[in-house]
Chains A and B, each alone.
Chain A
Amino acid sequence: GENVEQHPSTLSVQEGDSAVIKCTYSDSASNYFPWYKQELGKGPQLIIDIRSNVGEKKDQRIAVTLNKTAKHFSLHITETQPEDSAVYFCAASRAVNAGNMLTFGGGTRLMVKP
């Protein structure tokens, strides 16, 4: 089955700096890669996703890049703010025939210091 690894497990940045979180996956058939933000006591919230037919996607301060050959994808947050502090999860899915069952990475705790 799919295996997703995520690094780093914790990341501390100064407000205004950029943050990068990286994930690798094992199943070359995976074609959908969402990122979730989870705040304390809440469920994960989808913040951005990318499909395997594109290499990069951007939404304001957040961007995701995908390298299918190397089987890795990354989340980039620019101009970080204290409210970006949370746990971030990457995930991968074969989708469609596999019912969009997600395999999650272990999470990255991002701390943005004001």
Chain B
Amino acid sequence: GAGVSQTPSNKVTEKGKYVELRCDPISGHTALYWYRQSLGQGPEFLIYFQGTGAADDSGLPNDRFFAVRPEGSVSTLKIQRTERGDSAVYLCASSWDMWTNYGYTFGSGTRLTVV
């Protein structure tokens, strides 16, 4: 597609529920990144993929968070047993690959609210 697409744009869920956030990267981009942005702060790294494999998941806050990219294109960020502190905007970005310094293209994000 023309840009990075994230769905849903907004998600409200109850504490303790499971949520999935989807990211469609730009066609041909092999690197995909997930960031989390709390209100009034800069994005914080969660995980990135080169192709199908998670090259670095050191930013995932705990084992309730998991992400997959089974076919090297679409990625899903999964959050189990959601907590109110998980409320934030989850941003996805893609780039040509992880070895060159090309800038990312970010999606518009999914605003997650845990009530």
Contact = CB atoms under 8 A, between A and B. Distances in A.
Measured as residues with beta carbon below 8 angstroms from the partner, the interface class of chain A is 20 to 34
B56 interface: yes
Contacts of A42: 108-109
A36 to B, nearest CB: 8
B85 interface: no
Interface in A45-72: 45-46, 49, 51
B103 A106 contact: no
B40 to A, nearest CB: 7
A46 B105 contact: yes
> How many interface residues does chain B have, given as a range?
20 to 34
A89 interface: yes
Contact of B104 (A6, A96, A102, A107): A102
Contacts of A100: 31, 95, 98-101, 104
Interface in B42-82: 42-45, 48, 50, 55-56, 59
Nearest to B46: A101
A41 B48 CA distance: 23
Contacts, number: 69
Contact of A99 (B41, B50, B103, B109): B50
B108 A99 contact: no
A104 B44 contact: yes
Contact of A44 (B45, B48, B106): B106
Given A99-B31, A102-B45, A51 B101 contact: yes
A47 to B, nearest CB: 9
Contact of A103 (B45, B55, B107): B45
A6 B41 CA distance: 11
B4 interface: yes
Contacts of A43: 4, 91, 93, 106-109
29 contacts: A34-B103, A34-B104, A36-B106, A41-B108, A42-B108, A43-B91, A43-B93, A43-B106, A43-B107, A44-B43, A44-B106, A46-B104, A49-B101, A49-B103, A89-B43, A93-B101, A95-B101, A99-B55, A99-B56, A99-B98, A100-B98, A100-B99, A100-B104, A101-B33, A102-B35, A104-B42, A104-B43, A106-B41, A106-B42
